Amino acid sequence: RFNLHLRLDHIAEVWAVDKPTQRGPAVSVEAFNKDGGLILQVFGVGKEGRDCRPAWGKLVAGLEGLTVEVPA
């Protein structure tokens, strides 16, 4: 069993990132602290020679922006 705890009080920025590659887009969600350090990077690993599953790209594209700022 895996249980991820992410402290929102340490996150300053979260980005949905779409990086083009020769095998298609590599889509990730990335979180950074106030100093620009990477805290979290999540990818939807693709199959059949692709860098991303289409369902993962749709999920990331559908994420809503944070409506309340959390102090970093």
Decide if 68 is inside a domain: no
Digitized pLDDT (tens) for each residue of the chain, 72 residues in all: 888 888 999 999 998 888 888 877 788 999 999 999 999 999 877 666 666 677 888 888 888 875 555 554
Decide if 52 is inside a domain: yes
pLDDT of residue 72: 47
Check if the beta carbon of residue 14 is closer than 8 Å to that of residue 66: yes
Number of domains making up the chain: 1
What H or E segment, with its residue span, contains residue 16? Answer: strand 13-21
Decide if 53 is inside a domain: yes
* pTM (2 d.p.): 0.73
Question: What letter does residue 31 receive in the DSSP assignment?
Answer: E
C-beta atoms surrounding 34 within 10 Å: 11
